[in-house]
Amino acid sequence: MAQAYMTETGSDGQGPDRRESRLRSLLTSLRTDRGVWRRGIVLAVFALLLALVMAMHARIPNKIGNLGSLLETFLPWLGLAVPVLLVLALVRKSATALLAVLVPAIVWANLFGGLLIDRTGSGGDLTVATHNVNADNPDPSGTARAVAASGADVVALEELTTSAVPVYEKALASTYKYHSVQGTVGLWSKYPLSGAAPVDIRLGWTRAMRATVTAPEGRLAVYVAHLPSVRVKMKAGFTARERDRSADALGAAISHEKLPDVALLGDLNGTMNDRALTAVTSQMRSTQGAAGGGFGFSWPAAFPMARIDQILVKGVDPVTSWTLPDTGSDHLPIAARVKLSATAS
């Protein structure tokens, strides 16, 4: 009998009837309590401000510490405030706050709800991957093997050091017959590479390159880039001017590309929401947004909070996109499978 009682009421000693009674009591109090619309005004204001910030993020100026770009880097995380405000509204028994919380919830769903839908497809012609391997990587050989194990046909690596390049070349030689290293970025391919050359992104040293991959299904222009890092400083704010200049130069180079099928692989040190990357993102689309599932955060590897590593395409149809396991770098590698256009051949 004791066991039957525990099964019916649950471990907290409250059965379904008691919980239902409490819910009815709460709903009744909301209907009869005259203060239900007067309480929670402050919570309602916070909820509406949250909705306004998310909806109008592109209008927040960058003139003061690049505040707009900083916000856009972590914009999806503002959604965590919605359940917090919801709980507080219930505790306050405020109908006003409850209704107000719906507004940021709807705005967030409109901005990011699509990323929660799995758009993974099948087929495709080519698998590409990119990874910032970290200049201080203690095991470059292990990182190279992990990336090669992904099955990617084309792999871009960023933050290569002069001493580590021979290690990556040796570790990847058996899988990738063709490769080119330009400055601190490199491209490895199972298919022939041609026209490999640096791309000037206004830094004074090489952190970007372009090459043509000739796959059985056609040719793909591949850009590899590692845009300058950004920092958050107390006095200067979000220091990203060097990155922004490089993004503009990279966007200009891609806009002059003659091949119809183009892919950009690399660490852009910015998200697709960051208006500072518009020169690039306005002409290309993210494989994660078009054919992925989830946010695909890639940095930092220990607790990913933003997708600053990107695979962007133009003239190419993304089929699927995913994040690869931790390799020991401070970034996670990402991969995508794409279908080349009919004109690529």
CA dist 40 and 258 (Å) reads 58
What structural domains does the chain harbor?
A: 33-116 (no CATH), 126-344 (3.60.10.10)
DSSP state of 344: G
Q: What is the pLDDT along the chain (345 residues), one digit of tens a residue?
A: 444 444 444 445 556 677 777 667 666 666 666 677 888 999 999 999 999 999 999 999 888 778 888 899 999 999 999 999 999 999 998 989 999 999 999 999 999 999 998 888 889 999 999 999 999 999 999 999 999 999 999 999 999 999 999 999 999 999 999 999 999 999 999 999 999 999 999 999 999 999 999 999 999 999 999 999 887 654 445 568 899 999 999 999 999 999 999 999 999 999 999 999 999 999 999 999 899 889 999 999 999 999 999 999 999 999 999 999 999 999 999 999 999 997 776
Number of other CB atoms surrounding residue 65 within 10 Å: 18
Indicate the pTM of the whole model: 0.86
Q: What pLDDT is attached to residue 24?
A: 73
Question: How open is the CA angle 204-206-211, to the nearest 5 degrees?
Answer: 140
Torsion of CA 170, 172, 175, 180, to 10 degrees: -100
Closest CA to 264 of 125, 149, 154, 114: 154
Tokens, residue 60: 């927040």
Phi-psi region at 202: left, alpha or beta (left = phi > 0; alpha = psi -120 to 50): left
Written as one string, the DSSP assignment of 133-180 is --TT-S-HHHHHHHHHTTT-SEEEEES--TTTHHHHHHHHTTT-SEEE
Query: Which contacts of 202-206 are long-range, i.e. CB under 8 A and separated by 24 or more positions?
Result: 202/245, 202/246, 202/249, 203/228, 203/242, 203/246, 206/182
